[in-house]
Structure 1
Amino acid sequence: MSERTEWAHANYDTDAMIETMKRWYHVPVLSVLVAFMLWVRVQAYEAFVGDGGITLSGVDPWYHYRTTTYTVENWPRTMPYETFTNFPYGASVGHFGTLFDQLIATAALLVGLGDPSVETVNAVFVLAPAVMGALVAVPTYLLGARLGGRFGGLSGVLLLALFPGTFLRRSTVGFTDHHVAETLFMALAVLALGIALRIAERDKPVYEQLETRDFVGLRSVLLSSALAGFAVAAYVWVWPSGVLLIAILGVFFVVAVSLDYAFGESPDHVAFVGATGLSIAGVLLLFSVDVRGFAGSTTYSLLQPALAFAVAGGCVFLAWLARRWERRALDDRLYPAAVGALVLVGLGVVAVALPGLFDQLTTNLARVVPIGATDTTLTIAEAQPPENATAHMFSEYGLAFFTAMAALAYMAAAQLLGRDRRADHLLIVVWSAFLVSSSLAQVRFNYYLAVAVAVLNAYLVGRAVGWAGLSAGSASVLDRARGLEGYQAMVLVAVALVLLGPLVPPLASGTVVAAASQSGPGDDALTWEGSNEWLSEHTPPQGTYGGAGDEMALYGAYEPPEDGDYDYPEGAYGVLSWWDYGHLIAVQGERASVANPFQQNARAAAAFFLADDERRSELLLEALPAERAVHDHSDEELRGIVDGRTAQQGGEEVRYVMIDDAMAGGKFSAMTRWSGPEYAMYLDEREVRVAEGETATLRGLGENYEATTLSRLYYDDASGMEGYRLVHESPETTQFVTVAVQNGDGEWRTVFVNREYTLALQYRLQQLVENPNLDVVDTAVFDVREESAVKTYERVEGATLVGEAGPGETVTAQVELTAESSDRTFTYTQETTASEDGSYELTVPYPTEEGLGPEEGYTDSDVVAEGEYTVTAGEETTTAEVPEEAVYAGETVEVEGGTPDEDGPADGE
């Protein structure tokens, strides 16, 4: 072979390689970005998995762990019904036990070769959000590339990889919640719909092709629309409240069909995609229905398929109306107005004919509109709107949010003015507008908005590159860059700085790498872990309380009841706490929680903890099996409900109550929003010492707070109460403080009431003093308290001490107790007044003799008496032994006559 020939071959190979790189350069670049996103999100892996155990971020991931574990054991079936939450009714699993959990369970089975160990399940579960978060880059690139070319698509993914906000936090290891899967599957659904719309615009399908059975001509549109429908259904399978996307698509199809007709184009093309795709989605979603009627969007009911069919039918109707409009030669420009009027009329008909469906639509609308949020919704941190929208969006996306809004406005104007009209572009406009609105309504929805911001900036970069002439003709960006003019280069550099500057050092306050590395287990889970572990080991298993023998399997397959009220077996019981902790009790504690993060029984829980009388708090719990809305009933009404309970309802008792420091402190105001009265009613003003020799009238906890069941249990150890005994408290303690500040004029005012004295609070106090704009010259801390982080109480009948004393004499019973877990000694005190004939009765919840435990169906209490009860009546003192059996059975214990007490009555604590 000649040298010339060899040179030609070598040169040909080089040219071919370069051409291949030009065509496929986006693949390795995208792969690197995906790998980077995955690496960023797995940095904190060791903080969540170790020593065969698992810890998680937040509360909801714990429940996903429960449903995923069930699915691993029963694959592909998910949990049919949950009996370990929403006691005494049980609950539909709803947006847990969905496709999200099935995917994780399937991955664990594959990794574990069909029989994964607990360690394997734990590892896959913890890693799942990081993997899904990295995979979001793929549909983001494909969406961005459709708007701004390959370079624009890669630019969008780069931005997504650098966003340090909500999307990052919801997609790091340990935050195994459905949020990241929602983002991935919503992006896939929008991508699939965009592709179907583009194919429809290319092939221009019309109704006549169906009449002539021209399925060959319709094949591409039918297939792409069907795939889009499947993608929409898959998204809703991940999260039943994803029905919201179907509503968004309904708005899109109304706008798209109306604009098409107004601009003189056939609406059949777009309507064909909507009718086909949403019909497929509706059929698929019918297989998911597990609740009758139009139940809440957090469960799979008829709501999801009904809305899909409604949008599909609406597309058909709009296309039919356009044809009728054309036949009557009506003004094309009036068509959109007519459609809008018909939509309003249709909503009115739904409101009258199907009020349940209409209520669900309006309830879900509140999620995406930053007005009309209820007080109870605002008690959920992730469901609150941002305090400062501009600052919040900058912290989430830097300047990329504002450039995205510019791109959105430009795209919207182009569609409305008829320039470069494309249905897939209009889809991005409508979709992004709703995501912006929803993120202003609830901060959590920024995990959706991150993709829209990235895609809109991909469009912006594509326009900038096109303006610079880099995408003209068939030449590549690299080829065209060689002839770039100076001013064009400066514009591109400016665009890059605007988009990336606030997200990377030195302008960024922190990097995405640093933000992800700081992720760790949730504080609530760590605080409650010890108490829940104690609960699972020292209380009777579900179904065995009181010696009953029908133990309920923790991962049993329980059939849904027809009336939504599960009949629990004898010996089943509930554990009451604030709704935030229901999943932790069910999963860590392996006991049935009453209130839960689904916010089921939240009002009942609030009413119980805020009750200012033990009799009312007892009535609330006793009435709960027969009446869900117990919070708004009077005591007399509650007694009537209790008297009318069936034997089944009478046996479904709440046996344990758990309270933590946050409930007594920062979460207390949230409880008042659920059942009232308002928080201010629990505060009083009084004279407080603020400095040496100086007092001020300041606001602090008042008598109404001290009288609540929560305060009496948490701060007073149930002293004076008859039916509650402390059985465990965590060794970790929390200090509570009320803080006042003094301004430059010498005026004092309270700024924090009964807050946990954490490092975060100390830092905030330091900022108050050091910030010259706040005019704070001094601080004062008062009403300092310290208690165990979590306290667990058992509800018991109580033993009744009976005896004789002088008529009208005050009778006091006291017993010294030690909580062994915290090595704390305290005194329980009960008091009464003898009747006119000298007899008295005192009901006490603590035994002085123990011997029962979980094997007998009772509690192995961690709190033990240091001796007998000391009973004092007038000047006489005697002692009384109280067997544990008497406390459980409500038996009477006779107190023998006493002897004069030279030292006087015993002092209580």
Structure 2
Amino acid sequence: MAEEKKNWDVKGSLPYFVGVVISFLIAFDLRTIPKAGVFISSEFVRFGGNDPWYHLRNVESIVHNYPHMLWFDAYTNYPMGTGQVFAPLYDMFLATIIWLIGFGNPSQDLIYTVCAYFPVVLAALVVIPAYYIGKWLFDRRAGLLAAFFVSVSSGQFLSRSMIGFNDHHIAETLLSTVTAMFLIMAVKTARDHDISFEGLKNGKFSSLRSSLPYFILAGISLGAYTLAWKGALFFSLIIGVYVTVQHILDHMHGKKTDYMAIGGMIIFAVALIMVAMTPYLGGTKALHLKALLAGLFAFPIMTLVSIEMNRRGFNKYYYPGSLIVSFVAVVLISKIALPSAYDLIISVFSYFMRTGGGLSIAEAAPLLSRGGVFTLAPLWYNFALFGYVSFIALALFAYEATKKNSQEKTFLIVWTVMIIWAMLQQNRFAYYYSINAAILSAYLGIKLLDLAGWSKLQDDVRTRKKSVTTYTSFMENVKPIHILSLILIVGALAYPSYGMAVQQAQGVSGPNGYWIDATLWLRNNTPDPGLDYYENYDVPVSGESYQYPEESYGVMSWWDYGHWIEIIGHRIPNANPFQQGIGGRSFSIEEENRPGASTFFTAQSEEEATAVLEAVHPDPDKSGARYVVTDVEMATGKFYAMALWTLDTNDYFFLAQTNEGDRIAPNERYFNTMEARLHLFDGDSLEQYRMVYESPSAATDETWYKYVYNVRHGGSIPVEDTGYVKVFEYVKGATIRGNAPADEKITLSTTIQTPQMRSFSYSQTMISDGSFEFVVPYSMTGPIEGETNFVVRAVEPYTISYENTSVQITVSEKAVLEGDVINI
């Protein structure tokens, strides 16, 4: 009989096991569709976006210095360097896998391959906790449907786990879902046992035995989640809110709250130990320790208040009121007496708020807003039908939950509401909500299937299970209506998302070919910055800055491109996607406009831009950057973001009326910016900036900007697309001095040719006061070994002319680099 029972369990579980495996394979397959666009050559792998490149940086550093983490990186944010921004677990775990597979000496190809596939595997694994959450909340059918819905989910959950998108985002999703899974298991198990402080005090630990493993596993999962993302305080907050809500519900229903306080303490204590053992946590370790400690104290206090109120016979409604009053009191007292505690509270509730330039960060923008305009389009893009269905399901589920105080279902409601709250503020949390949407859609899908008769089949399964039969007779009872309803309901829910997922999986993100070529050119044709790329740099003493070698220099570009410059180009960017080195203002136009990328590219003259470049470096005798990299996106669509970081966006653009309708057009203030002078005008007339590299061109809005300049400002520049990416070098410049009649207009010019066989004129003009002086950045004698191996060249000497007089001057590369004076 026991053997027959065992056979039944195996046969009963097999369909669900197969279903989860199929869901895993679907999720995996979707994410590997564009692999050809990732593995673009035998020597180069295109990782997606920006941050995945820095994860590659961390992994490479760990593998080369195993088991040491890159706690400080001098190879970015020049001339300051930066402490490790990411939480360490994701990169350390990935690097360890690679190190083990490679027997302590993995090849670069192995590093690239494992890093590229790692997010795909993590995303596919999410179907497992999704299944168990659905199973423990509802039944195995709902669990299986949830796993399947997760596997076909589109939007950010898909895009942030595609092959090559090696980022911690998908680890956040997996670990937070696993935490939720174990918490649901824990509270559902704990409710059937009389867990209390009094019982534990008297040595009755048996009541905790069945749920303790789940609480511990939830704590380990929360700890791992915290060590994988420095913003994981978010999920600690969700658990804290849930424990508070459940305390209130239990008290209002006359139930003990001890189990909830004890369970919450176990979870937070385990996570606290894990965080305390970690040396650094992206600058947020202290914040996490304080928050977890706050929970350890708050949870038992809430239970003690409940016990005392019950003992004194207080009205049950006093309890939630007392918690609210206590919270307000803590905030007020902290503001007066404990500023650090007050800052902790404020930081928690304002964690997702962005202002100023921060709103230009794509993943930090509100979900239902595009350009400040409300839209539901992102809801469909991220979740397809699951998004709308999940809201309906949440309302129905919440209504049903009010009829019965079910701890695990209360958690699903709190979890979902908190994710929605975060997602509406920052769209990045859409990849979290995909799990909630799948689970809730599965819940509603099963309800609809039960209306079509599947509940009776389920009852038959339970009945036959008791009599130990097989599924043969069960399948005999399946009617066409059952099959049709299954196809219609599951298909209607899943197909839109699957179709969108297939469509979204066709492309790859990350650097395009122009940026790959430009950064590789930097790597191979500019001087060594004096640092070993794989060095494990010492963390500077508190209050001191990193001491760079004399030959080190920065590369100025917009922050979006900082990681590409560092990891592909092996050069040191001034600004990076950690929003370091941007400069500008934070809250008010009255603030000082701090030197950085935003102030450099929006500067209204060469002199102003150079002053910014000089101010970036704390040493007044050194410049903050030697090279400036621009691209056509910075010159067009991204320029507004650069201006936004300075909180001064007026007069750069106007609305032009064209035959094709209204169109945004650049104004005079825009054309005066350093970005326009460099990218649109090729650095023409600039004294200390010369183009040294130009990529091939692409069809862009560059022609529109040039057309507007010619029409509105009397220009005559060719209306053509030029290099997508351009690299300029900041040099001292050679000074050419001579004499000429006073009040004469003196013109200096030469012809410059790029590797794209494009020629343009470089010129300067001035009015003589009896003498003239030009500072010029281009030489005619070619590169010097050890310096920039430029490929943009002056193809003829400088011609200086006035009236009927003309003279040609050849300038050496040495004169340009050392600032020599040439008298004529």
Shared fold (TM-score, shorter chain, > 0.5): yes
Q: Distance in 1 between matches of 2:127 and 2:430?
A: 16
**Secondary structure, counterpart of 2:399 in structure 1:** helix
Shift of 1:478: 5.7
The residue number in structure 1 matching 2:589 is none
| Identity %, equivalent residues | 28
The equivalent of 2:814 in structure 1 is 885
Give the alignment partner of residue 603 of structure 2, picking from 590, 602, 611: 611
- Matched residue of 1:52: which SS? coil
| Residue aligning to 1:843 | 775
Contact 2:734 2:776 in 1 (8 A): yes
Q: Which one is further off, 78-87 or 21-30?
A: 21-30
Work out whether residues 386 and 440 of structure 1, in 8 Å CA contact, stay in contact via their aligned partners in 2.
Answer: yes
State which drifts further: 259-268 or 354-363: 354-363
Cα pair 1:683 1:702 within 8 Å, conserved: yes
Tell me if the contact between 1:71 and 1:105 (Cα under 8 Å) persists in the aligned partners. yes
**Per-residue CA distance 1:670-693 (angstroms, 9 max, x = gap):** 112111431x502357898x59xx
Conserved in 2, the CA contact under 8 Å of 1:608 and 1:709? Answer: yes
* Contact in 1 for aligned 2:65/2:536 (Cα 8 Å): no
1:625 pairs with one of 599, 611, 617: 617
Instruction: Give the aligned partner of residue 266 of structure 1.
Output: 256
C-alpha distance after superposition, 1:623-669 (max 9, x if no partner): 2234xxxxxxxxxxxxxxxxxxxx5x644631111000100111111
1:829 alignment partner, one of 756, 763, 779: 763
In 2, Cα distance between equivalents of 1:15 and 1:233: 39
Task: Answer whether contact 1:288 1:300 (CA < 8 A) is retained.
Answer: no
Check if 1:346 corresponds to 2:346. no
- Residue 523 (structure 2) pairs with residue 536 (structure 1): yes
The answer for the alignment partner of 1:775 in structure 2 is none
1:350–1:475 Cα change, 3 Å: farther
Residues 264 and 564 (structure 1 numbering): CA distance in 2 closer, same or farther, change over 3 Å?
farther
With the length of structure 2 as denominator, give the TM-score of the two structures.
Answer: 0.89
Q: Which residue of structure 2 lines up, in the alignment, with residue 160 of structure 1?
A: 150
Give the match's secondary structure for 2:692.
strand
Other-structure match for 2:590: none
Pairing of 1:641-652 with structure 2 (within 5 A): 647=619, 650-651=621-622
Tell me the distance in 1 between the aligned counterparts of 2:14 and 2:54: 43
Partner residue, 2:74 = 83
Q: Counterpart of 1:510 in structure 2: which amino acid?
A: G
| SS of corresponding position for 1:877 | strand
Cα shift readout 1:321-342 (whole Å, capped 9, x = no counterpart): 2222223321112201211222
Aligned match of 1:712: 677
Greater shift in the superposed pair: 795-804 or 465-474: 465-474
- Cα shift readout 1:596-619 (whole Å, capped 9, x = no counterpart): 111112232111111111111111
CA 1:148/1:884 → structure 2, altered by over 3 Å: closer, same or farther? same
- Identify the residue that residue 275 of structure 2 maps to in structure 1: 285
- Corresponding residue for residue 666 of structure 1: 637
Structure 2 residues not aligned, in runs of 5+ = 584-595, 710-716
Q: In 2 relative to 1, CA 175–437 (structure 1 residues): closer, same or farther, beyond 3 Å?
A: same
Partner SS for 1:252: helix
Deviation at 1:218, TM superposition (A): 3.5
2:53, 2:567 within 8 Å by CA — same for their partners in 1? yes
1:240 and 2:195 correspond: no
Q: Match for 1:403: what amino acid?
A: V
Residue pair 1:277, 1:312 contacting (<8 A) in 2 also: no
Which residue of 356, 362, 378 maps to 1:392?
378
Residue 859 (1) aligns with residue 788 (2): yes
Give the partner amino acid of 1:807. Answer: A
Cα distance in 2 for residues equivalent to 1:509 and 1:412? 28
- Alignment partners' CA distance in 1, 2:497 and 2:30: 17
Which of the residues 805, 815, 823 maps onto 1:876?
A: 805
Q: 1:361 Cα shift?
A: 5.4
For residues 24-60 of structure 1, the C-alpha deviation after alignment (integer angstroms, 9 at most, x for no partner) is 4322221222122222222332331231321122122
User: Hey, what's the Cα distance between the residues in 2 that align with 1:260 and 1:893?
Assistant: 87
Counterpart CA distance in 2 for 1:784 and 1:808 is 33
CA contact (8 A) 1:471 1:480 kept: no
| Aligned equivalent of 1:510 | 499
Match of 2:561 among 568, 576, 581: 581
Match of 2:697 in 1: 732
Count of matched residue positions in the alignment of Structure 1 and Structure 2: 789
Deviation per CA, 1:432-479: give whole Å up to 9, x if none: 111122223333222111111122233334555677344445546968
CA distance in 2 between partners of 1:340 and 1:317 (Å) = 13
- Paired residue for 1:556? 536
How far is the alpha carbon of 1:100 from its aligned partner? Answer: 1.4
In structure 1, distance between residues paired with 2:570 and 2:662 = 47
1:67 to 58, 64, 71: 58
Could you tell me how far apart the structure 2 residues matched to 1:479 and 1:306 are? 58
Contact 1:148 1:463 in 2 (8 A): no
**Aligned positions of 1:77-226 closer than 5 A:** 77-95=68-86, 98-226=88-216
Q: Distance in 2 between matches of 1:16 and 1:581?
A: 59
Is the Cα contact below 8 Å between 2:636 and 2:702 reproduced in 1? no
CA distance in 2, matches of 1:174, 1:323: 54
| Equivalent pair of 2:445/2:490 in contact (CA under 8 Å) | no
Matched residues in 1 for 2:210 and 2:3: separation? 37
Correspondent of 1:602 among 570, 576, 582: 582
Q: Is the 8 A contact 1:248 1:434 kept in 2?
A: yes
Contact 1:811–1:831 (CA under 8 A) maintained in structure 2? yes
Amino acid across the alignment from 2:651: M
Q: C-alpha separation between the residues in 2 aligned to 1:393 and 1:860? A: 49
Q: 1:406 maps to which residue?
A: 392
Deviations 1:63-114 (A, max 9, x none): 1111111122223322111111111111122226x21112222222233233
The match for 1:43 is: 33
- Tell me what 1:4 maps to: none
Deviation at 1:398, TM superposition (A): 3.4
In structure 2, the partner of 1:382 is 363
Verify the 8 A CA contact 1:169 1:519 in the aligned structure 2.
no
Q: Which residue of 2 aligns with 1:777?
A: none
Q: 1:260 to 1:535 in 2, by over 3 A?
A: same
Q: Which residue number corresponds to residue 514 of structure 2?
A: 527
State the secondary structure of the residue aligned to 1:302: helix
The one-letter code matched in structure 2 to 1:58 is G
Judging changes above 3 Å, is the alpha-carbon distance between structure 1 residues 460 and 354 closer, same or farther for their aligned structure 2 residues?
farther
Equivalent residue, structure 2, for 1:590:
570
Give 1:541 shift.
1.1
Aligned with 1:602: secondary structure? coil
Residue identity matched to 1:374: T
Shift of 1:889: 1.9
Answer whether contact 1:503 1:511 (CA < 8 A) is retained: no
The residue type paired with residue 819 of structure 2 is G
State the 1:141 CA deviation: 0.6
Please report how far the alpha carbon of residue 881 of structure 1 lies from its aligned counterpart in structure 2 after TM superposition. Answer: 2.6
Q: Is the 8 A contact 1:684 1:703 kept in 2?
A: no
